[in-house]
Amino acid sequence: MNLSLLGAGKIALSILFVLSLSACFPTSQHPIEGNPMYNLDGTFSGIWKGELSDGPVTILFIQQSQDDTGTFHIGGLLVRHHEERPSLNEGWLEFEGEVVIIRDETFLSAQLNQMGDAPVAAEEKGYYLFRLVLEENSMSVLGLNALVTAELVNRGALEGTVNRSQTAPSVRLTSNGAALREFLNTANLEELFSSAFAQLIRTQ
């Protein structure tokens, strides 16, 4: 097989994944503020394997850092695999995020930085907000429900914009990090974060 065509195919699959992600989950202009999770290495170390809605995936959390505001960041790679032949990779994404604790719940604000060899375009930048349900060696990654989030924006509970030109509403939150934290302090988390993104198992 022509290697340049193979590389182009992987980039195309990565782009399709980003478009699918944007269509399914709202984005936020700001990350969630909250109490930082300090033990990121101990919590996220290892290789995590599991399933997205459309196929197998491996996630590696590979970096932990702290900026001058005291905020902790974590970086990682998401590698997509062929559904019928998991040993074949179909592209990868590089991301970074902030992990905070609110109401003893764990939240990840993740931003995509790179798709294969191509950086994510500025217009595609944004934070995807996830609730993480962590066990010792398993993790459920739950995203914002687009319909619920759109309704919250429509009635002013959260600031943002709703684009209804597609079948499912596309939501962009503009509430700042403190406002997101305040909302999550009293929100029905089961209803708000009811869209499954990934189910992962730590393999090593």
Domain ranges of the chain: 3-202
Nearest to 76 by CA among 101, 59, 56, 99: 59
Is it the case that residue 109 has pLDDT exceeding 70? yes
The encoded tokens of residue 135 equal: 């066990």
For the chain, how are helix, strand and coil distributed in percent, rounded to 5? Answer: 25, 45, 30
Strand 35-36 and strand 89-102: pairing? Answer: antiparallel
Mean pLDDT, residues 105-110: 95
Q: What is the pLDDT of residues 41-65, one digit of tens each?
A: 888 888 999 988 767 889 998 877 7
Mean pLDDT, residues 10-32: 64
Model-wide pTM > 0.85: no
- Say how many CA atoms lie within 13 Å of 133 toward its Cβ: 13
Q: What is the pLDDT of residues 150-160, one digit of tens each?
A: 999 999 999 99
pLDDT at residue 73 in the model: 84
Contact present, 24 and 169 (Cβ < 8 Å): no
Q: What is the pLDDT of residues 131-143, one digit of tens each?
A: 999 998 999 999 9
Q: What is the rounded distance in angstroms from the CA atom of residue 123 to the CA atom of residue 170?
A: 14
